[in-house]
Amino acid sequence: MKKELELYIHIPFCVRKCAYCDFRSAPAGREVQAQYVDRLLEEIQKAAPLAEDYEVVSAFFGGGTPSILPKEEIGRVMELLHRQFDWKADAEVTIEANPGTVDGRKLDAYRSFGINRISFGLQSADNEELQKLGRIHTWEQFLESYEAARTAGFTNINVDLMSALPGQTRKSWQETLQKVLVLNPEHISAYSLIIEEGTPFYEKYADHPELLPPEDEERQMYYDTKRILAEQGYERYEISNYARKGYVCRHNLGYWSRRDYKGFGLGASSLLNSVRSTVQEDLTEYLRGNFAGSNEHLSEQDIREEYFFLGLRKMEGVDPGPYREHYEKLLEELQKQQLLQEKNGKICLTDYGIDVSNYVLAQFLED
């Protein structure tokens, strides 16, 4: 019996880097993009031995903005992946897309390649807020892209949203949620803006938090998200992710459950048999065919920390069985503080625990 494997394919290119983004991504010309895909195919070919032990259950094209590549380049990657690996018949295959970077022909091509899920990075339905974020699209362009995806036959669409944006109010956030809900996407990811060091937003807002929504209003936006989406039939299955019945993102659930995954592309991570590895992070070196990055053999401590740190993000929680004895006092203490609860034999966050999840999860880091 082959083990389940997830694939991640990193496309590090975008039209323009957003002001809040700290991902490994940057604009690049067609020549560099084509050269990158050539190297990506070489890297994938080198992983051929994995096919002996694994069956692919999901794949995810992330970035950057994978959808800025010509459709033929995505086709080349998918063709090789299908040729090289065994795939589960109902494998989930997602591509991230920026509104305005896809059209009917490109979306039809994705479907023909076996891509069956699309994730649109909308962030906000308010054009002023989008402009402040440095996004390249408008709400109207998102609508065009979304409708084109439906026309192309996509029946599993995610929309990424972001709250606590500069100039955003509780009312404008509610309006964003309501506008998106009218479209009835199968999945919604709703995150709060995090000001990351090294980004233009950090320079602008780190010393001027008054330009961002006040903390109590940000908290209300967070509660509004949970309430409004629940009223419309979306189940919260992870701290920031909501889905209609049957449409949870299987790929991301795999990460939180520590399923083995193989990452391809600049700086991509892998977890195989408790070894975490990272691909070369320097684009120039990667384009030379130097893919080697770092390798780390995870210790028992690393594994049990990750088991809780990642697994407790899921609303269903984790079975503490393997590590109950090790964390017995901590689990008792966090339950006493009403941050964790035991349900159906699993340990999970309480509503209060979700509110302060960063604190709770950090308690499982032993050093």
Cα separation of 317 and 314, whole Å?
5
Q: Omega into 75 within 30° of 0, i.e. cis?
A: no
Cα separation of 166 and 262, whole Å?
36
Cα separation of 223 and 181, whole Å?
17
This prediction's pTM: 0.93
Cα separation of 245 and 233, whole Å?
8
Q: What is the pLDDT along the chain (367 residues), one digit of tens a residue?
A: 899 999 999 999 876 544 444 445 455 678 999 999 999 999 999 999 999 999 999 999 998 899 999 999 999 999 999 999 999 999 999 999 999 999 999 999 999 999 999 999 999 999 998 888 888 889 999 999 999 999 999 999 999 999 988 888 999 999 999 999 999 999 999 998 765 555 555 555 556 665 676 788 889 999 999 999 999 999 999 999 999 999 999 999 999 999 999 999 999 999 999 999 999 999 999 999 999 999 999 999 999 999 999 999 999 999 998 899 999 999 999 999 999 999 989 999 999 999 999 999 999 999 7
Q: What are phi and psi of 65, to 5 degrees?
A: -130, 90
Among residues 339, 359, 358, 337, which one has the least CA distance to residue 349? 339
Which sequence spans correspond to the domains of the chain?
3-256, 301-367
Q: What is the CATH T-level fold of the domain 3-256, as seen in this structure?
A: TIM Barrel (3.20.20)
Contact call for residues 311 and 258 (beta carbons, < 8 A): yes
